[in-house]
Structure 1
Amino acid sequence: MDILDDIKNKVKDLPEQEVRSYLQFILYRIALLEDKENSLVEFAKDLKEILNEILYPKVTDSDLFGKSNYKKIHIQFGYPYLRQPLKELNILEEEFIIAFHENFSIAPITSLDTEKGQTDRFDWLKNNLSNEYEVEFYKESLPKVISQVLSIHDDLPIYIWVSENANEQTALLFYNVFVAGTKE
């Protein structure tokens, strides 16, 4: 199997939200090429990084933070906007980003710390959203993200990024009640 087949198979299996994030990042980098300070070499490096992320995704480990050199953890809700600034500051390797892609401003959020609560939410989303891929992405990502948050060691500082919109404020409440409460 050649590289083109590998790429087709990997992209086919990516959640739509992730594909959109990659596309948005690529378009952003293309727009930056007009700025003389941003070179084609840097652009090529960024594209190679995206290719490697897609073809060779990092394995999620239950002790993700115990085997790493991460010095800070950033938690964000909604659109993943932190990756590029941390990369530009050359600290992406030292600071880990956990992104809740979930839209907490819609659907039930009762007992999301339990499997039943998550199932109830996903059933509501499936019945009320027309985008089947988005529902599947939520279904796959929420347990994974909660697991990442619960595996953070107590000695690592956590920075939570939120704005004043309904999604991120509700997500912050979810984090404080269900996730942070289980770590105490």
Structure 2
Amino acid sequence: MKELRSIKKAVDSLGHAELRSYLSFILAEIKLLRDQAESREDSIAKLLELYDGLMGLQQQRGFWNPVPACTHVHVVIGDSFAGSMKYALKELGWAESHKVITLRENYAIGPLDRLDSPEGRMARSDWFRDHITEAFEHYTEVEEEYSELLDNLAQIPEQARIMIWTSSNACEQTGMRHALHLLQSKRNTLAVYDACVICEELYNRPDARIEYRRSGEVPPDKLKEALLRMEESSTLNNAELMRLVREWEAISEQTATLRIWRDGAVLGVTADYFDSYLLDKLDKLKPPAGDHGFVKAARVIGEAIGYCNQYVGDSYFEYRLRELIYNGTLEIKGLPAAMRFYSVRRKRQQDKADS
């Protein structure tokens, strides 16, 4: 189990370009194995070398921890954006002086009450265990990661400029406020940046526009340009810092386990907020011929993610799809162990009458 968690961390730390590169190599080697175009021993050796290299990247995470001589520390939300940030900093030649701290929580979902206490983190872990099929991590690992986060924040030297990155979604906006809550006693200069906004201003044209929903969607090459365009005007004064800290306190005291970003604020909403939206996406999908109206759960969730103007993550949509099965709105074919293993359809009226 510990080894599997290490593998998950290693994969999560990669950027999109690196993930594609690794996947392409693995699939090519598997094809050679299947076609017997290369000796089994050579292919296995290459795959083992790839594995050792990937796990080595995981072990080198400490390279990005703050050091006494660093001049900038980037605080980012999510492993996907962290991978892109590290790649961009390396490309710019800034890796020695610019360090990265990653907050790995999906702040859009789950309870946040007393997150700074072991009891609060345990309650959050329990919620994930009970509702999110693939996202639960063992409590001891959560504690280790939180301790590592606090250690990294404590290691930031006084001369370093701390740059917290966010974008227009509940996950990163809440995470940014939590980061400021944890950093409020530091004497460093604090600044908040939005890579999505910077890149949209740099690259969008009347005839070609991209609107990013989260920082992890920004390609590393565009992120490089965003890093070069950072402005001192993003520095927070004390009043702004205290306002954002108070907003974190208010958000964390809410009982809601789902949060959205609307009109410049993080709002707690009911757990079933997206249920009608999911059903609408299901109704608009054409079921495969001969499948009796059933549609793969992964297809429904992919459609929901593709058109949703909020970012909550696919695991939350999958949780709500299962809830719609449990309450009799949908019926299932297959096993709900993971979204790729089952299909759903609206429960037929006759079935409802018989139940």
- TM-score normalized with structure 2 length: 0.37
Is 1:65 aligned to 2:72, yes or no?
Answer: no
**What percent of counterpart residues are identical?**
23
Deviation of 1:175 (Å): 1.7
Contact kept, 8 Å, 2:71 with 2:161, in 1: the verdict is yes
How far does the alpha carbon of each residue in 1:138-169 deviate from its partner, in whole angstroms, 9 at most, with x for none? 55423312321133222211011111111000
CA 1:58–1:106 in 2, change beyond 3 Å: closer, same or farther?
Answer: closer
Is 1:113 aligned to 2:111, yes or no?
Answer: no
Deviation of 1:126 (Å): 1.6
For 1:169 and 1:12, the matched residues in 2 are separated by: 30
For 1:173 and 1:23, the matched residues in 2 are separated by: 24
CA 1:139–1:130 in 2, change beyond 3 Å: closer, same or farther?
Answer: farther
Deviation of 1:25 (Å): 4.2
**SS of equivalent residue, structure 1 residue 82:** helix
Work out which of the residue numbers 141, 146, 170 in structure 1 matches 2:145. Answer: 141
CA 1:102–1:49 in 2, change beyond 3 Å: closer, same or farther?
Answer: same
Q: CA RMSD in A?
A: 3.2
What is aligned with 2:11? 19
For 2:129 and 2:153, the matched residues in 1 are separated by: 26
For 1:114 and 1:27, the matched residues in 2 are separated by: 34
Mean CA deviation greater in 159-168 or 75-84: 75-84
**SS of equivalent residue, structure 1 residue 109:** coil
Report which structure shows greater RCO (CA 8 Å, sep ≥6): 1
Contact kept, 8 Å, 1:102 with 1:142, in 2: the verdict is no
Letter of the aligned partner of 2:146 in structure 1?
A: L
Contact kept, 8 Å, 1:75 with 1:161, in 2: the verdict is yes
Unaligned runs of 5+ in 1: 1-9, 31-46
- TM-score normalized with structure 1 length: 0.67
CA 1:12–1:135 in 2, change beyond 3 Å: closer, same or farther?
Answer: closer
CA 1:20–1:180 in 2, change beyond 3 Å: closer, same or farther?
Answer: closer
**SS of equivalent residue, structure 1 residue 14:** helix
For 2:12 and 2:177, the matched residues in 1 are separated by: 27
Unaligned runs of 5+ in 2: 23-49, 188-355
Deviation of 1:12 (Å): 4.6
What is aligned with 1:77? 77
Contact kept, 8 Å, 1:102 with 1:138, in 2: the verdict is no
Work out which of the residue numbers 91, 109, 112 in structure 2 matches 1:88. Answer: 91
Mean CA deviation greater in 17-26 or 160-169: 17-26
Number of residues paired by the alignment?
A: 153
How far does the alpha carbon of each residue in 1:41-61 deviate from its partner, in whole angstroms, 9 at most, with x for none? xxxxxx89756434x53659x
Work out which of the residue numbers 96, 103, 125 in structure 1 matches 2:106. Answer: 103
What is aligned with 1:129? 132
For 2:125 and 2:5, the matched residues in 1 are separated by: 20
Deviation of 1:122 (Å): 1.4
For 1:172 and 1:58, the matched residues in 2 are separated by: 21
Letter of the aligned partner of 1:162 in structure 2?
A: T
Letter of the aligned partner of 1:175 in structure 2?
A: A
